[in-house]
Amino acid sequence: MLPEVKRLFDRNRMWAERLKEINPDYFSNLAQQQSPEILWIGCADSRVPANQIIDLPPGEVFVHRNIANIVVHSDLNCLSVLQYAVEVLQVGWVIVCGHYGCGGVRASMMDDDNGLIDNWLNHIRNVQRLHSAELELLDDHRRERRLCELNVIEQVRNVAETTIVRDAWKAGAGPEVHGWIYGLGDGLLRQLCVQKRGDGELNVLRKSLEEDCDVHP
């Protein structure tokens, strides 16, 4: 085995041993079932690991990640995760979590040719067009940060508009859908919006988080 790979297996064994020291039945209990309360839809960025950010152990968070935390109504992967989370696991919350300094959001604002991924980034370009009046008033740095926020808010709308969530809400069940954004520069989460069963409109909690601008890349 390559030393780099062996190192990962060593780390895994030490991690499992540490957890078993705290609770010898930890893995045997967890292997029986999962009952997470949260579905996390986040960015694939290595700096935004779902469980670590909210400091929750295995078994507590059902996770879907892709570039720039996008929810597309024709993405069978994301919709299958959402359906399983809502209908089988019956999670209480879906959290769409974006982050400032998102490479996908940044790339969507450039004219560069990125190949296939540009098709994916077009979903963020749609968000940009939808909010162009607001975004055009901002300087480059603030525009990028605001687009990171608006992208989360629009993806929360997309989650709430799926047949999966609409049908669950109609049946008097279904999760709350929250939009959060994470600061790479300080490790902190901020709440952007929330939509619950019975809410006609998306409840946007913070219009803009511009006051936090200086502390983030």
Q: What is the DSSP letter of 114?
A: -
Each residue 17-56 as x (binds Co ion by CB under 5 A) or -, in order, gives: --------------------------x-x-----------
Q: Which residues are catalytic?
A: 43, 45, 47, 99, 102
Q: Which is nearer to Co ion, 36 or 101 (CB)?
A: 101
CA distance 51 to 3: 27
Q: Minimum distance between the CB of residue 106 and Co ion, rounded to whole angstroms?
A: 9
Q: Minimum distance between the CB of residue 99 and Co ion, rounded to whole angstroms?
A: 6
Q: What is the DSSP letter of 33?
A: -
Radius of gyration of the chain (CA): 19
CA distance 111 to 122: 12
Q: Which is nearer to Co ion, 70 or 102 (CB)?
A: 102
- The region of 83-91, 96-104, 117-125, 153-161 touching Co ion under the rule CB under 5 A is 96-104
Q: Which is nearer to Co ion, 43 or 168 (CB)?
A: 43
Q: Which is nearer to Co ion, 61 or 124 (CB)?
A: 124
Residue 160 interacts with Co ion (CB under 5 A)?
no
Q: Which of 34, 41, 32, 39 is nearest to 59 (CA)?
A: 34
CA distance 97 to 113: 27
Structure tokens at 194: 């929330």
Q: Which is nearer to Co ion, 64 or 165 (CB)?
A: 64
Cβ neighbours of residue 39 closer than 8 Å, sequence gap 6 or more: 61, 62, 63, 64, 81, 82, 85, 86, 89, 91, 93, 94, 95, 175
Q: Minimum distance between the CB of residue 212 and Co ion, rounded to whole angstroms?
A: 17
Q: Minimum distance between the CB of residue 160 and Co ion, rounded to whole angstroms?
A: 22
Q: Return the residue of 39, 81, 97, 102 that touches Co ion, per CB under 5 A.
A: 102
Q: What is the DSSP string of 76-104?
A: HHHHHHHHIIIIIS--SEEEEEEETT-HH
**Do the bridges between strand 61-66 and strand 93-99 make them parallel or antiparallel, or are there none, so unpaired?**
unpaired
Q: Minimum distance between the CB of residue 108 and Co ion, rounded to whole angstroms?
A: 11
Please report, as ranges, the residues that interact with Co ion according to CB under 5 A: 43, 45, 102
